[in-house]
A and B are shown apart, each in its own frame.
Chain A
Amino acid sequence: MKPKFAVKLVVPMLIVSSAALTGCSSTTKVSRIDTNEEIALSDKWNGKDSQLVAEAMVSDMLGFPWVREHRAKEGSRPAIIIQSVRNKSHQHIAVDTFLNDLKRAILRSGQADFVANRDIRGEIREERRDQELNSSLETRNEMGQEQGADYALSGTINSFVDEQGGSRVTFYQVDLRLIDMTTNREVWNGQKKIQKLQERSGYGF
């Protein structure tokens, strides 16, 4: 066997065989991990971003004087309705998940209440109408006893992307505002920014 030829022939063959075998050995492994642990597989908006932004926004929102002023004036916790948070970013973002994180954080603080939005209200009213027909007097809930919202929460999620070769910087900006429903006064305006860098290699195994 000529050694030079052996190297020329065997080495590429080994590479190809190992590559082919690598392709065959794809097994799926699933493990449970902590929901607070961040696993960033890409620069897309993920659950951790949603959680971080919600926490930062709530902390900022409750730090503004509107809660204290409302309590002093009305003697009760303010009620908030979520109008709309529009996703104007380049990523599909589950806005509901983000809003649920936000609501939970506010409710947990005990400083404000949320009232149901239009769709949920419609379903609840339908249920009450059903109760009027079918429930006993003691357990029936009356129509016209709903709590009106004092403040309306709305906002947008925007993004910018800068890309060069395998590097991509993604910048997310979440803007939220709280409007006094009686006076149209903007009592709070919050902003949170997230920047991510993704680097990809041109070649890999």
Chain B
Amino acid sequence: MRFQNTFFQLFFKLLFLVSFLILAGCNLTPSANKLAIEYAEQGDFITAQKHIDNAYKGSSRDELLYYLESGMLSHLQQDYIQSNQFLENAKSIIEAAYTVSISDELFSAFTGASYKKYTGKVYHRPMIHTIMALNYAALASKSAANSTALYDSALTEMRQLDLYLEQLKRNTGGYGGNQTSLGNVEKILKAIFGQPFLKEDLEYKDDAFAQYLSGILYEQQGELDSARIQYERAAKAYKNGFSKQYQLGGHAQKQAQKDLTRVVAEQPTDYFTLVQSLGVSPQRKEFNLYLSVDESAQAIVITPIYLGTREERQAQFAWFNLMFSDTSLFDLIQNYATGDFGDVILGSVTKRLPLGESLWQKAVNEGIIDALKYGSRISVTYLQPHKNNIEQVTLFANGQKITELHPFYSVNLLTLYDALSNANMEIYTAISREILKAVTANKAINQFASPQPTLLAGLAQLTASVTNAVTASADIRQWQSLPAEIRVARVKLPQHTRELTLQTTLRSGRVINQNIQINSKTQTISHVRTFTGITAAATPNYLSSLTNMD
């Protein structure tokens, strides 16, 4: 009987692992958004929109993504009115998401993260306002009759942005300038626990770029007092941490300070502003892990399953080591104390959660250990690291170089920081969800199955495990058409300039030239999108010392 028991367990464990590996290979969440922006990059907006329609249209849980992606695609096609209609709908959905839907939360708890209604990221709202303001400004420059009303609408967006950022700063403290550096105790704790970042390093606290753009629009409309306030906020935020946090260099802060000084001196100048959105924000990808129990060590074990291309596997390994694995001194001590010596070594390739005697017994009583005896799939997101492939961006008028464009905003790092700061909560939620699902299914099976392990009971358990694995997909949805980086130049154009040339030089040596038409004397701001092609994945050098994976 005992032999039969062990045989069944081993057989089903193997069967589950095979099924899990097959399932893990399938990306069950839509990747159409990435395809859409790739088509847009080639200028095929119709196919791009078709992909978005197929992926998101009519789905209540993805409707925000539909409006965000469609809004961006319309903006890129210079259909500014349509773009604003889409983005206005997106704003309403984000606004309504203030009220958390209990039914949605419950449904997601029993299914998966990707079954939850998508409500966007904290930095999406400022981006929506920014694009809408640029849309209105573009419409204003083309319409002589409604120019004032359309510029007023651009400023309305900036006022909404201001309200949002005020609340954000209230919640996060913003970049106040009086933030104390880490105390000694915190430094020691940081070193012991091996957390590479503190929440403060990653948190989106304010938006210096949005404040700066707001200042530009106010100044262009002659509202110098409002412009002064916005430039001041932008300069302070850049100086007190935004530039450092998002690796923007010193130019953005200097430019904001220069504009502030000029406006304070009441010397508005007819500067032309060029906003360049570069590249495509990094893609969120799915990373699979295997959740099991180690009865001898009385621990729950998370083992990463590296799948995909060489770069993807390297990135997954790096992400696991960075975020989850037992590489900190505290984790190693825990492994040593509760497991055997092997746990200490395994710490770098697994995450072990030692439960201890009493907690283990509770887990046995609640059926958790039994439910996880064939293992369970959990799935989290990770970001493929991207290196900055921009060498230089230069603006020419009549064949003469007039200025360079400098980084003012990094969506790339915003996305990465967001993923990093949510990683622990994400894996915690994923584990809780899968345990809940496994325990519920296991209890249901046990009610009707024979007390002795039979082939039927084993199959039922396997079916439940596979069903759980299917729904365990990570939530990799995101606003994919956002750029990776935004650069800005403010310059006084030579008289009668009607065309500018923007030259983007990539590190690979490739040069991208774009012509920018200046519609009229009244056009003072222009937005251009530069696609830089599929960027090569960078070697995850931040963990190169930990991995020699090839």
Q: Which residues of A contact B4 (CB under 8 A)?
A: none
Q: Which residues of B contact A19 (CB under 8 A)?
A: 102-104, 106-107
* Residue in A closest to B167 when the chains form the complex, CB atoms: A163
Looking at the complex, which of B148-156, B485-493, B527-535 is the stretch in contact with chain A? B148-156
Report yes or no: A26 in contact with B110, Cβ–Cβ below 8 A: no
Of residues 167 through 196 on chain B, the ones whose CB sits less than 8 Å from some CB of chain A are: 167
Report yes or no: A86 in contact with B107, Cβ–Cβ below 8 A: no
* Residue in B closest to A158 when the chains form the complex, CB atoms: B159
Report yes or no: B447 in contact with A23, Cβ–Cβ below 8 A: no
Report yes or no: A90 in contact with B159, Cβ–Cβ below 8 A: yes
Q: Which residues of A contact B443 (CB under 8 A)?
A: 5, 8-9
Smallest CB separation, A95 vs chain B (Å)? 7
Q: Is B160 an interface residue (CB 8 A)?
A: yes
Q: Is B22 an interface residue (CB 8 A)?
A: no
How far, in whole Å, are A200 and B96 apart by their CA atoms in the complex? Answer: 9
Report yes or no: B98 in contact with A91, Cβ–Cβ below 8 A: no
Q: Which residues of B contact A12 (CB under 8 A)?
A: 106, 110, 440
Q: Which residues of B contact A22 (CB under 8 A)?
A: 103
Report yes or no: B149 in contact with A202, Cβ–Cβ below 8 A: no
Report yes or no: B160 in contact with A90, Cβ–Cβ below 8 A: yes
Residues of A at the B interface (CB closer than 8 Å) are 1-2, 5, 8-9, 12-13, 15-16, 18-20, 22-23, 26, 84, 86-92, 95, 119, 159, 161, 163, 166, 200-205
Sample of 30 A–B contacts (CB below 8 Å): A1-B447, A8-B443, A9-B443, A12-B106, A15-B106, A16-B110, A19-B102, A19-B106, A23-B60, A23-B103, A84-B148, A86-B148, A87-B152, A87-B153, A87-B156, A88-B152, A88-B155, A90-B162, A91-B156, A91-B160, A119-B145, A161-B163, A163-B163, A200-B98, A200-B99, A202-B100, A203-B99, A203-B102, A204-B102, A205-B103
Report yes or no: B102 in contact with A205, Cβ–Cβ below 8 A: yes
Of residues 127 through 154 on chain B, the ones whose CB sits less than 8 Å from some CB of chain A are: 145, 148-149, 152-153
Residues of B at the A interface (CB closer than 8 Å) are 60, 88, 98-104, 106-107, 110, 145, 148-149, 152-153, 155-156, 159-160, 162-163, 167, 440, 443-444, 447
* Residue in B closest to A201 when the chains form the complex, CB atoms: B99
Q: Which residues of B contact A16 (CB under 8 A)?
A: 106-107, 110
* Residue in B closest to A96 when the chains form the complex, CB atoms: B149
Report yes or no: B98 in contact with A202, Cβ–Cβ below 8 A: yes
Given contacts A204-B101, A205-B103, 5 further A-B contacts (CB under 8 A): A15-B106, A16-B107, A87-B156, A90-B159, A205-B101
Q: Which residues of B contact A95 (CB under 8 A)?
A: 149
* Residue in A closest to B99 when the chains form the complex, CB atoms: A204
* Residue in A closest to B104 when the chains form the complex, CB atoms: A19
Q: Which residues of A contact B88 (CB under 8 A)?
A: 92
Report yes or no: B107 in contact with A23, Cβ–Cβ below 8 A: yes
A26, A84, A201: the one within 8 Å of B60 (CB): A26
Q: Which residues of B contact A86 (CB under 8 A)?
A: 148, 152
Q: Which residues of A contact B155 (CB under 8 A)?
A: 88
Q: Which residues of A contact B163 (CB under 8 A)?
A: 90, 161, 163
How far, in whole Å, are A91 and B91 apart by their CA atoms in the complex? Answer: 12
Most buried by A among B98, B100, B443, B444: B98
How far, in whole Å, are A12 and B148 apart by their CA atoms in the complex? Answer: 56
Most buried by B among A92, A119, A200: A92
Most buried by B among A1, A20, A89, A90: A90
Smallest CB separation, A108 vs chain B (Å)? 26
The secondary-structure label for the interface of chain B is: helix
How far, in whole Å, are A165 and B107 apart by their CA atoms in the complex? Answer: 26
A9, A84, A203: the one within 8 Å of B100 (CB): A203
- Complex A-B, nearest 6 residue pairs according to Cβ-Cβ distance, in ascending order: A19-B103, A90-B159, A204-B99, A87-B152, A16-B110, A19-B107
How far, in whole Å, are A161 and B148 apart by their CA atoms in the complex? Answer: 24
A5, A91, A119: the one within 8 Å of B447 (CB): A5
Smallest CB separation, A87 vs chain B (Å)? 5
Smallest CB separation, B467 vs chain A (Å)? 14
How far, in whole Å, are A23 and B61 apart by their CA atoms in the complex? Answer: 10
How far, in whole Å, are A97 and B167 apart by their CA atoms in the complex? Answer: 31
Q: Which residues of A contact B100 (CB under 8 A)?
A: 202-204
Q: Which residues of B contact A201 (CB under 8 A)?
A: 99
Smallest CB separation, B102 vs chain A (Å)? 6
Q: Which residues of A contact B98 (CB under 8 A)?
A: 166, 200, 202
How far, in whole Å, are A87 and B107 apart by their CA atoms in the complex? Answer: 43
Q: Which residues of A contact B447 (CB under 8 A)?
A: 1-2, 5
Smallest CB separation, B86 vs chain A (Å)? 15
How far, in whole Å, are A15 and B103 apart by their CA atoms in the complex? Answer: 8
Smallest CB separation, B259 vs chain A (Å)? 22
Smallest CB separation, A163 vs chain B (Å)? 6
Smallest CB separation, A199 vs chain B (Å)? 11
A8, A89, A163: the one within 8 Å of B159 (CB): A89
Report yes or no: A92 in contact with B156, Cβ–Cβ below 8 A: yes
How far, in whole Å, are A88 and B217 apart by their CA atoms in the complex? Answer: 13
A9, A23, A90, A203: the one within 8 Å of B444 (CB): A9
* Residue in A closest to B448 when the chains form the complex, CB atoms: A1
Q: Which residues of A contact B145 (CB under 8 A)?
A: 119
How far, in whole Å, are A87 and B149 apart by their CA atoms in the complex? Answer: 8
How far, in whole Å, are A84 and B150 apart by their CA atoms in the complex? Answer: 13
How far, in whole Å, are A165 and B129 apart by their CA atoms in the complex? Answer: 21
Report yes or no: B167 in contact with A92, Cβ–Cβ below 8 A: no
How far, in whole Å, are A202 and B60 apart by their CA atoms in the complex? Answer: 20
Q: Which residues of A contact B440 (CB under 8 A)?
A: 9, 12-13
Q: Which residues of A contact B106 (CB under 8 A)?
A: 12, 15-16, 19
How far, in whole Å, are A15 and B153 apart by their CA atoms in the complex? Answer: 45
Smallest CB separation, B257 vs chain A (Å)? 27
Smallest CB separation, A153 vs chain B (Å)? 16
Q: Which residues of B contact A84 (CB under 8 A)?
A: 148
Q: Which residues of B contact A1 (CB under 8 A)?
A: 447
Q: Which residues of B contact A204 (CB under 8 A)?
A: 99-102
How far, in whole Å, are A84 and B145 apart by their CA atoms in the complex? Answer: 12
How far, in whole Å, are A88 and B159 apart by their CA atoms in the complex? Answer: 9
Smallest CB separation, A126 vs chain B (Å)? 14
Q: Which residues of B contact A26 (CB under 8 A)?
A: 60
Q: Which residues of B contact A87 (CB under 8 A)?
A: 149, 152-153, 156
Smallest CB separation, A177 vs chain B (Å)? 17
Smallest CB separation, A190 vs chain B (Å)? 20
A15, A23, A90, A200: the one within 8 Å of B156 (CB): A90
How far, in whole Å, are A2 and B107 apart by their CA atoms in the complex? Answer: 25
Q: Which residues of B contact A13 (CB under 8 A)?
A: 440
Most buried by A among B104, B152, B159: B152
Q: Which residues of A contact B101 (CB under 8 A)?
A: 204-205
Q: Which residues of A contact B104 (CB under 8 A)?
A: 19
How far, in whole Å, are A90 and B167 apart by their CA atoms in the complex? Answer: 15
* Residue in B closest to A163 when the chains form the complex, CB atoms: B167
